[in-house]
Amino acid sequence: MTSYSKNKKAYHDYEILEEFEAGIALNGDEVKAIKESQANLKGAFIDVTNDEAFLNEAHVSRYKNSARKEHDPTRKRKLLLQKKQIHKIEKEISQKGVTAVPLELYSKGGLIKLKLGICRGKKLHDKREVLKKRSQEKEIRQQVKQAY
């Protein structure tokens, strides 16, 4: 499993409640661009319309050797999910304060997959607690390292 793009901001700004794995409908040159790590998930989101899930605002740069004249880097891309999963995502994001966010683009068995999360936004004090806890763990690791 090779990771091509991670949405680090999502892990910082959101509490991930549930994760799903989805395929994505891509053009050939988009696949090559993603495999060269020319994709960015920052600011992207997922919406559900007419029993179909879409990835919006994910930026996939133009592949350098592409013959395609028109290229929209932030076009809507259809997500390939089971109906049951789509209905569950739709039900969850209809709640107040809950959203669906792409977390990671990676390959699995030669295919490009998207890990998406059902997320709830963190409050400022929650973010501070995480940073404080992380810095304490770092200090402990450094002290243990120095002791040995």
CA dist 65 to 18, 30, 62, Å? 38, 11, 9
Q: Collapsing DSSP states into helix, strand and coil, what is residue 68?
A: coil
In a domain, 137, yes or no: no
In a domain, 82, yes or no: yes
In a domain, 147, yes or no: no
Instruction: Give the domain CATH number at 49.
Output: 2.40.280.10
Q: What is the pLDDT of residues 48-85, one digit of tens each?
A: 999 999 999 999 988 887 777 777 888 899 999 999 99
Instruction: Give the pair of three-digit tokens for residue 127.
Output: 């973010």
Distance CA 126, CA 33 (A): 36
Total number of domains in the chain: 1
Span 85-106, average pLDDT: 93
What residues make up the domain containing 27?
3-122
Instruction: Give the pair of three-digit tokens for residue 8.
Output: 């680090």
**pLDDT score for 88:** 93
Q: What is the pLDDT of residues 23-38, one digit of tens each?
A: 999 988 888 889 888 9
In a domain, 37, yes or no: yes
In a domain, 142, yes or no: no
Contact 103, 3 (CB under 8 A): no
Averaged pLDDT score across all residues of the chain? 89
Contact 102, 55 (CB under 8 A): yes
**pLDDT score for 129:** 84
Is this structure's pTM higher than 0.75?
yes
In a domain, 139, yes or no: no
Element at 88 (helix H, strand E): helix 83-93
